[in-house]
Structure 1
Amino acid sequence: MELTFWLLDVTYGVVGNAPELRLFGITNDDKRVLVLDRSFRPYFYVLPSGDVNNVFTNVKRKLEGKVLNVEIVKRRLFSNEVDAIKVIATIPEKVRELRELAAEVPGVEDVLEADIRFSQRYLLDMGIKPSNWVVVDQCEETKGNYQVDLVCLAKTRPRMIEEHKLPSFKILAFDIEVYNPRGMPNPDRDPVIIISTMTKEDGVKMFVVNDDKNDAKIIREFLDYFKRYDPDVVVGYNNNGFDWPYLVNRSSRIGVRLALSRMSNPPEPSVYGHWSIIGRANVDLYNFIEEVGEIKVKSLDRAAEFFGIMKRDERVLIPGHRIHEYWDDKSKRDQLLKYARDDVVSTYGLAEKLLPFAIQLSSISGLPLDQVGAASVGARVEWMIFYEAVKRGELAPNREERPYETYKGAVVLEPRPGLHEDIAVIDFSSMYPSIMMKYNVSPDTLVLGDCDDCHVAPEVNYKFRKSPEGLYPGLLRMLVESRRKVRELMKKYPENSPEWTLLNERQRALKVMANAMYGYCGWLGARWYRREVAEAVTAWGRNLLKTVIEKAKSLSLPIIYGDTDSLFVRNISDKVDALINYINNELGFDVKVDKVYRRVLFTEAKKRYVGLTIDGEIDIVGFEAARGDWAEIAKDVQESVAEIVLTTGDVSKAVSYVKSIIDKVKAYQFDIDDVIIWKTLDKSLNEYKVLTPHVAAAKQLVEAGYKVGKGDMIGYVVVKGGGAKLAYKVKPYILVKDIREIDVDYYVEKQIVPAAMRILEVLGIKESQLMEGKAGKSILDYFS
């Protein structure tokens, strides 16, 4: 029979002495299916340094009896044709041993592609990507002990088809609360007291222990419900970092087998730090929130508020270390249950916002849905490049350890300090991808010697062949063309219809992946890394911006500021139009007016300004408000000062506002959340040589019984007393018992006033005026 299904998950097993690929999916008619393919074998390439035939003979002799086949094949490496030796193994587990044996053979220069995961190798060679529709023309129904509606054995190679629709998913959000009287909970000791779930069909369900805290009972109840509901996608918030490892370890400790996968296995750790539930997609939404720069503190409550799911002041907030108190005190237990409910509702709401984009990232990159969030941006781009390389017969270089190196970056002009009115921002749409396509910049088009028909990068003089089209430009052109087609297709559907929304997420994902290509060029961990590529692209970028600046000067169009791929100019419509026409038509780059500011304020520093758009939005760039290492109160003050100055034109009003905040702080009229300073531990505690504030706070947490380590975000406040050094005046916010411990003078002098002065000092305001003086000028006195 022919079978069409949407590819959700892929894994493999070994049956007898042969690997079996397992493709889990969902059909058009809402059936859960498993397609088995036993026809594929693992392989890798051996690259000879000398005569290929001699090396081939020696490799074959060395591996005799251990492999299925050894053959000489033609491939390309950085566009140069090479003779490679393809070694086909019996099962994936043998590849590491075979690779090492092959590397020992005299005349072997390198062993390539031996580190590609077997299931991903299969997808690459078949040319199919997860989160897409796949057809198997001949599939024979068979038996199997799997939690699916249909199991069939593929008799033909699967093929991918283009279909802009999604199957009917079953999504389950879940969250756990753990009893933790000793600080950081331990699964060998501390029970799970609440498991919360939410689905579209059943709403919120809560599995709550009795007073005896017998969590084996609720874990079994959760397990039974999970199997009955049979979700395709499971979502959580930091579930890879906490919920799954805790639940799996706790279940093992109390003798409950957490058989949640469609093969009746427990969740298990997998690549990129994610936890795999075979046959389903386990998605940690925290991975995607980590990439949202506007959310400084990545907690679930703040992410939910940012996306308009639930306001923080409308939900129950309980510090994690006090969960046990709310359980032990029966008068507070309802609050704890409401807190758990709010968490799972927020998680489900985030899934509705983030999953459509995650699905498209998976579909484009080729990484399965449960891996694409946990993978780095570089890894996503690299798998996308892999697919293109396989089509071209291009071998993938091995990863290398490379020393850190810098190169000259983009043009950043000195801003004109002060206030400016009616400013247009000219945006170079995808400048770096456009440069890579225009000049065929790619690792495989780089010419290190003489070249008669090459593009030559300004300043650095690197040469790139004009033809054939390179790996990077070819892939970029495909992404750009795909995005153009998708946007055309969107016009056929009503805005915000399901079809329009799906296509909109796809065009956004295509844009994100195209723009990430340049970052991949300069990523030291990239397989296809060439420093010359990254340097050449930025050199062409600098040259382009300088050329445009000279043209603007010839048009007598004043330039206020310029940064990388945008120019801030006076909004003189005819001159702006003339400049845009010049860039589009004569230079061949796509630009447009991205936004127009009614007012914009520049300081003397680069990359630091605040602006009010004609739509009434406030942009704050490069100030404390856009950084995570200042207290929330400093961020709020700065945003409010910017808004007052830009919207009312009244500096006195801004000064009065700051003074009122100072008065409130000195009277302790604030919440502790307002004064927490957040900082991430970027290495292990014992690796720090200097005692910084967040390290000092982290050490206090350890002493109090909490487990902290690399990657954890530490929240601390500055308290009274201690020594002259700030590190001796900090305390983890969760250990503060009384808000009057807070050193309010520190927050006034080192947070509130400096944050406000970043904006107000450009307007001539002195620090003393915030503390006691008066401001008597109008904003109009400060216009440049």
Structure 2
Amino acid sequence: MKMRFWLLDVASEAEGGKPFIWLWCKGEDLSTWVVKQRYTPSFYLTGRIEAAAQKLKSSSVRFERCSRRVRGKPVQALKIYVDAEDLEKAASRLLKGLNGVEVYEEDLRSSTKYLLESGLRPCGWIEVDGEVVQRFDGVSFIKPRSIKRLEHAPPPSLTAVAIDPVFFAEHGSPTPERDPVRLVSLYFSDGFRVQLEGDEREIFEKLIEAIGERDPDIVVGFGLNRIQWNYLSERAKKLGIRLMVGRLGSEPRTSVYGHVSIRGRLNIDLEDMARDIPELTIETLEEFVNYLGIKKEFDSIDEHELAEKWKSDKDLVKRYSMQRAEAIMAAYEAVKDFIFSLSELTGMPADYILTASAGFRVESYLMTHAVRVGELIPKRMEIRHVTYPGGLVKAPEPGIHENVAVVDFRSMYPSLMIKYNISFDTLSPDGENVAPNGYRFKASPEGFLPNVLKTLLRERRAIQSRLKELDPESVEAKVLDARQRAVKIITNAIYGYTGWIGARWYTREVAEATTAWGREVINSSMKKAEELGMTVIYSDTDSLFLKNYEGRLEKFMEWIERELGLEAKVDEVFKRVIFTEA
């Protein structure tokens, strides 16, 4: 039997000490499925592999020989399979006493490893050929014969619930050891709403019942990961209640990146997204919703006022809490396509993607590419942070400026990395491409990072071309626009990733050389603009603010393309610009 599923989430589950992969999926009819597959994790060994092979044979451990690359250099490796929940510990035990070997990929989670090797992506469509083996508690289990990734397409109409719990202290900050949950507001994506109040035990019982009966695919909130789930779990435990809000009667649990996992559902905390937006100086739900352009009225109540308002005007608190739940749902509807697109692009489950930093998102995407080209994924190293010069900034000239054109270099850093083949595997003392700061990079063969960037830029151009053919209000256009924004974010973050001390492929020279070439581009562009009779009143990293541009701009843009080999566009033309003193 062949079926088409949308991959909601992936989890590693142990049965009898053996690892299994559970793919939580939604059918085209919105039914819930688990594709359950036996999976044996693996890791790689390089270096003195013959001695290792003898030891593995004597221990009856399955392995195979293979050719891989480490930072672009070909190596012979052993791929070792171990039935263990903790692969890192198993690898350490197996290789005890072996010298002259390097271990790779033993620190990856089994679910991550499975996605990388299978080529499957969360928030994408798959085709499963298999047989149904069990149906339990509204979930069908299927044993697959084969699984195939399908083309990118809009997601199904997933069901969601927005949750806003209310708890407070009479004095000071609330603590789960002392202060009860007073109210929980639930707003479902079909418009159904309910508020749970009164006896705290009854609140929890009704919360579990409401989520169980309506069975949403997504739970969305604002502050769920940082505070709320932990608070609710601690209060439930104090009452002797299992907080079974996950599918198959499971409770929330803390997972990677500080994220809380709810089995079979996506737990999306929009506060994580708000905290990642530089323009938001106050990371409140009200500010976030306003930033998204959503018009919502709030009877705003400060946290320290809750106890007093609960006594004097409980209806006001209830109304405010439901307003928050409705706003959370409206915000989720506005950003869900972007979240799902970023998840499918990077290979990270959608509920991890907001809690993970930009570096982890980029790294997840790079890992998918590494597996395709046979590049082994290195461990993170303890590295001391070293600063390096960034983009060139020319301070704005204070005053009122009339008729100002803003010229923006398109994807300047990615373009420079492609042009000069800047990558961790092309860095070489005898490289032909010499950066202004002296680092050298081989002109060929094409490096790992330039290859990744070309792939991303090709995809973005293809999406933009397709968008021109579509009705902007269509579902396909909205999903594709979210996808191209996700591609842009990952593309522009790659150079910075290489200078991040948490990076598996940390190579500060790559980041330094890229910004050095960027500064050279801006310097030479400012000189050319002045030569042509224009005045540069401000410059920041990859853009120039130009006066006296009339009749000169076209020649300047042609020079950029011809002499620098880069693309630029006129991003804005302002009738008047005011710069104040710093």
The TM tier, using the shorter chain, reads: over 0.9
Contact 2:84 2:90 in 1 (8 A): no
Read off the aligned partner of 2:99 and give its amino acid letter: G
Show the counterpart of 2:526: 549
Residue 561 of structure 2 corresponds to which residue in structure 1? Answer: 584
Aligned twin of 1:540: 517
* Deviation of the 1:100 alpha carbon: 2.1
> Residues of 2 paired with 1:175 and 1:604: CA distance?
44
Rounded Cα–Cα distance in structure 2 between residues aligned with 1:146 and 1:90: 29
Residues 248, 471 of structure 1: alpha-carbon distance in 2 compared, 3 angstrom cutoff? same
- SS of 2:552's partner is helix
- C-alpha displacement at 1:493, in angstroms? 2.0
Match for residue 121 of structure 2? Answer: 129
Does residue 472 of structure 2 align to residue 495 of structure 1? yes
- Map residues 540-619 of structure 1 onto 2, 5 A cutoff: 540-603=517-580, 605=582
Deviation at 1:597, TM superposition (A): 2.0
- 1:142 aligned residue (122, 133, 142): 133
Sort the Cα spacing of 1:559 and 1:21 in 2 relative to 1 into closer, same or farther, 3 A.
same
Contact 1:58 1:105 (8 Å CA) reproduced: no
State the partner residue of 2:35.
35
Measured after TM superposition, the shift of residue 558 of structure 1 is: 1.9
Matched to 2:337, the amino acid is P
Q: Which amino acid aligns with 1:542?
A: R
Distance 1:500-1:333 versus aligned 2 partners, 3 A rule: same
Kindly indicate whether the alpha-carbon contact (under 8 Å) linking 2:49 and 2:101 is maintained by their aligned counterparts in 1. Answer: no
Q: Does the 8 A contact of 1:14 with 1:91 survive in 2?
A: no
Q: Which amino acid aligns with 2:449?
A: Y
Q: Note the C-alpha offset of 1:571.
A: 4.5
Q: Which residue is equivalent to 1:180?
A: 169
One-letter amino acid matched to 1:115: D
Pair member with larger Rg? 1
Aligned partner of 1:160 in structure 2 is 149
CA deviation profile, 1:686-722 (whole Å, cap 9, x unmatched): xxxxxxxxxxxxxxxxxxxxxxxxxxxxxxxxxxxxx
Amino acid at match of 1:87: I
- Other structure's SS at 2:19 match: strand
**Structure 2 equivalent of residue 444 of structure 1:** 425
Answer whether contact 1:103 1:110 (CA < 8 A) is retained: no
Q: Which residue of 1 aligns with 2:21?
A: 21
- The match for 1:274 among 250, 259, 262 is 259
Q: Tell me the distance in 2 between the aligned counterparts of 1:53 and 1:306.
A: 59
1:159-215 per-position Cα deviation (integer Å, ceiling 9, x unaligned): 211132111110110010014213222223322111101113243211111xxxx21
Following the alignment from structure 1 to structure 2, what is the Cα–Cα distance between the partners of residues 573 and 199? Answer: 55
Deviations, residues 629-674 of structure 1 (Å, cap 9, x unaligned): xxxxxxxxxxxxxxxxxxxxxxxxxxxxxxxxxxxxxxxxxxxxxx
In structure 2, the residue matched to 1:460 is: 437
User: Hey, what does 2:207 align to over in structure 1?
Assistant: 222
CA–CA distance in 1 between the matches of 2:176 and 2:362? 37
CA distance in 1 between partners of 2:302 and 2:112 (Å): 41
CA–CA distance in structure 1, aligned partners of residues 149 and 534 of structure 2: 51
The amino acid across from 2:497 in the alignment is Y
Q: How does 1:298-377 map to 2 (within 5 A)?
A: 298-311=283-296, 314-329=297-312, 332-377=313-358
Return the alpha-carbon distance in structure 1 between the equivalents of residues 329 and 266 of structure 2. Answer: 15
Determine the C-alpha separation between the residues in 2 that align with 1:336 and 1:163: 43
For residues 550 and 307 of structure 2, what CA distance do their matches in structure 1 show?
A: 63
Is residue 87 of structure 1 aligned with residue 80 of structure 2?
yes
Q: Distance in 2 between matches of 1:164 and 1:588?
A: 35
Question: Which of 39, 53, 56 pairs up with 2:53?
Answer: 56
Structure 2 distance, partners of 1:351, 1:414, is 39
SS at match of 2:247: coil
Identity %: 36
Residue by residue over 1:538-573, the C-alpha shift from the partner in whole angstroms, topping out at 9 and shown as x without a partner, is 111112122222322321222222221011111523
Report the CA distance between 1:146 and its aligned residue.
Answer: 4.9
Q: Take 1:519 and 1:105, find their aligned partners in 2: how far apart are those partners?
A: 38
Counterpart secondary structure, 1:263: helix
Q: Given that residues 533 and 548 in structure 2 are in contact (C-alpha distance below 8 angstroms), is that contact kept between their aligned partners in structure 1?
A: no
Q: Displacement of 1:42 after TM fit?
A: 1.0
Q: CA–CA distance in 2 between the matches of 1:356 and 1:509?
A: 10
Letter of the structure 2 residue corresponding to residue 163 of structure 1: H
- CA shift at 1:414, angstroms? 4.2
Aligned length: 582
Residues 105, 46 of structure 1: CA spacing in aligned structure 2 closer, same or farther, 3 A cutoff? farther
Output the CA distance in 1 between the equivalents of 2:119 and 2:294: 38
Whichever structure has more strand as a proportion of its residues is 2
* Offset at residue 291 of structure 1 (A): 1.6
Partner of 1:494: helix, strand, or coil?
coil
Q: 1 CA distance for matches of 2:424 and 2:148?
A: 30
User: Residue deviations 1:376-407, cap 9 Å, x none?
Assistant: 11000000000000001101111011111122
String of CA shifts for 1:250-287, please: whole Å, max 9, x gaps: 11111222212122111111111111011110000011
Please tell me the residue identity of whatever aligns with 2:77. Answer: A
Moved over 6 A (4+): none
Structure 1 stretches of 5 or more lacking a match?
606-784
- Three-state SS of the structure 2 residue aligned to 1:553 is helix
1:46 aligns to 2:45 (yes or no): yes
TM-score by length of 2: 0.96
1:198, 1:31 → 2: CA distance? Answer: 21
Deviations 1:480-537 (A, max 9, x none): 1111111122123212222211111111111111111122121111001111111110
Match of 2:66 among 73, 81, 98: 73
- Does structure 1 residue 204 correspond to structure 2 residue 196? no
The separation in 1 between residues aligned to 2:314 and 2:49, in whole angstroms, is 73
Verify the 8 A CA contact 1:486 1:503 in the aligned structure 2.
yes
Q: Is the 8 A contact 1:36 1:153 kept in 2?
A: yes
Other structure's SS at 2:249 match:
coil
Deviations 1:566-594 (A, max 9, x none): 11111523211110111123322110111
> Which residue does 1:724 correspond to in 2?
none
The answer on whether the counterparts of 1:418 and 1:603 sit within 8 Å (CA) in structure 2 is yes
